[in-house]
Amino acid sequence: MSVYWNTRTKGLSPYVPGEQPQNGQFIKLNTNENPYPPSPGVLEAVKKAADEKLRLYPDPACTVFREAAAARYGVKPEQVFAGNGSDEVLAFAFAAFFESGRNALPVLFPDITYSFYPVYAELWGTPFRTVPLAEDFSVVIGDYLVPSGGAVIANPNAPTGISLSLDGIFALASHLERQERVLVVDEAYAAFAGNGGTDGRGGTGRMCPAGSAVPFIEKYRNVLTVHTLSKSASLAGLRAGFAIGDQELIEGLCRVRDSFNSYTLDRIALAGATAALSDAAYYNGTNEKIIKTRGRVSAELKGMGFTVLPSSANFVFVKHPRLGGKEFFTALRERGILVRHFDRPRIAGYLRISIGLDGDMDRFLDACRRM
C-alpha cells in the first residue's frame, strides 16, 4: 500500500473483472458478452456521430437517449436516467439512496450475487449485510422483510442466472416503502428471460422483457430498475446504461451525477445507444437465438451428468460431476476456452459459462465430453 493513499483507498477491495485477452487465441465465454454483432443501425449511427461535432460537449441530460428508452419501455423521459454503463448507474444509486456511517441500517443483498455491490457499499461507507440464498440458490424474500437501509436484487441473479418472481419483488418493495427505503432491481439480464408476451409487448404497449418490474414503477415509487446495453444490445464496448423509476429517484441520481461528472455519456455512445433502443426487432431476434442455445447447452450438460442451475440469463452456472471448479476451469483454459470461476464459499465448485455462438458452444461441449 502507498503512503499517499487515504484511509478509504486503503480499505477498498476493488472489483476484479473477467479476463480480457487481446491475442484472440481463446473462445471467450467468461464475461457474458453478447456473441452477435450490434444492430446495423447502431453501427451506422456511430459512424455518423464521428464528425466535427466531437469538439463540442455532449448533451449532459442525454435527452434523445432518454426519450428512446422511455418510448421503448412505455414510461416518461423524466423517469429515465442515463449513465456510462449500468455499473456507473448502480454506483450513483448507492450514493443517492443508501445512508453512510456506522449507525446507518445495513443495505441488504444476497450473499451470492454481482460482486460489485459490496464494492460500492465500501466505497461510499455504507453498512451492508449479505442474506444467504436458499440451498437451491434462490432468493428467499422473507429473509429481507426486516428493518434495513434498503435492498439490491439482481433479477435474474448473477452468477446463478436464477429469476425471482415479480410477486417477490413487490412484497419486498411494499415492505421497504413502509420504511421509506429504496429497492434497486438490477435487470442486466432480464432480456434473456423470454419475450414480453404473445404480442411481444407484454400486453401493455411496452417492449419490456418478461419479469421486468418497469411496468409497475407508478405503483411502487421506491423501486429503481437498472439496465445495461452491454448484454442484450451487444454494446459492452460502448458503455451505456440507464435506470427507470419515479421522477424523485431519477432526480436523486442526477444530483449525484452532477456532483461528480455531468457528461457521463459521449456523443458517439449516445448515438449508438439511442439507435440500439430503437431496434427492438433486431435484438429480440438475436437474443432469442441465445435463449435457444442456452436451452440446448443446458440439456446436453445435464445429459453428461453436470449440475446446471435453471438460467434466465445469457449464461449457465454449472458443476462438473467429478472435477472441482478450479480443476474444471483450468482444464477448459488449457483447451483454449475461457470461462469464469468464483473461488468463494458455496460456489467454488461451479463455473459460469457465457452463451456464445453455436459453433463455440459445440467446442465447449466437446471439451466437456473429453474430461
Q: List, in sequence order, every residue forming a beta bridge with 337; answer none if it has no partner.
A: 27
pLDDT tier at 204, thresholds 50, 70, 90: very low
Among 9-18, 116-125, 317-326, the least confident range: 9-18
pLDDT digits (tens, 9 = 90+) for 158-173: 999 999 999 999 999 9
pLDDT at residue 207 greater than cutoff 80: no
Instruction: Name the least confident of 3-12, 31-40, 344-353.
Output: 3-12
Best CA proximity match to 352, nearest among 87, 166, 137? 137
- Name the domain boundary from 263, 280, 297: 280
| Residue 356 and residue 218 share a domain | no
In-domain check, residue 49: yes
Segment 23-32 mean pLDDT: 88
pLDDT in tens, 329-350: 999 999 999 999 999 999 999 9
SS3 for 161? Answer: coil
* Whether pTM exceeds 0.75: yes
Closest-CA residue to 297 (of 247, 208, 225, 366): 366
Q: Which of 254, 280, 306 is the last residue of a domain?
A: 280
Together in a domain, 261 and 330: no
Look up the domain containing 69 and give its range. Answer: 40-280
Mean pLDDT for the chain?
A: 93
Quick check: is 288 in a domain? yes
- Is residue 92 located within the same domain as residue 148? yes
Q: Are 285 and 325 in the same domain?
A: yes
Q: What is the pLDDT of residue 136?
A: 97
- Say whether pLDDT at 203 is over 70: no
Tell whether 327 is covered by a domain. yes
- Both 161 and 292 in a single domain? no
Residues 276 and 286 in one domain: no
User: Are both 67 and 110 inside the same structural domain?
Assistant: yes
Is the domain of 51 the same as that of 186?
Answer: yes
How many domains would you assign to the chain? 2
pLDDT at 16: 81
Contact 89, 256 (CB under 8 A): no
pLDDT cut 70: percent of the chain above it = 95
Q: Report CA 329 to chain centroid distance, whole Å.
A: 23
Establish if 44 belongs to a structural domain: yes
Between CA 251 and CA 259 the distance in angstroms is 12
Residue 147: CA atoms inside 13 Å, Cβ hemisphere, count? 2
Q: What is the CATH number of the domain that holds 266?
A: 3.40.640.10
Mean pLDDT, residues 59-70: 97
Q: Would residue 1 count as lying in a domain?
A: no
Q: Is residue 2 part of a domain?
A: no
Same-domain check for residues 66 and 126? yes
221, part of any domain: yes
Please check the confidence at residue 239 and state whether its pLDDT lies above 60: yes
State whether 305 and 288 are in the same domain.
Answer: yes
Cell numbers linked to 140:
428467499
Is residue 141 assigned to a domain? Answer: yes
Residue 19 confidence (pLDDT) above 90: no
Both 112 and 211 in a single domain?
Answer: yes
Alpha-carbon span 93 to 80, nearest angstrom: 13
Least Cα distance to 186 among 103, 304, 334, 83 occurs for 83
- Look at residue 199 and tell me whether its pLDDT is greater than 70: no
pLDDT tens string 69-99: 999 999 999 999 999 999 999 999 999 999 9
Residue 200: pLDDT over 80: no
Tell which of 280, 299, 328 closes a domain: 280
Q: Supply 243's cell numbers.
A: 435506470
Same domain, 199 and 127: yes
- Look at residue 202 and tell me whether its pLDDT is greater than 60: no
**pLDDT tier, 205 (very low <50, low <70, confident <90, very high otherwise):** very low
- Residue 237, all three cell numbers: 464496448
pLDDT of residue 210: 73
CATH of the domain at 304: 3.90.1150.10
Cell of 51: 464528425
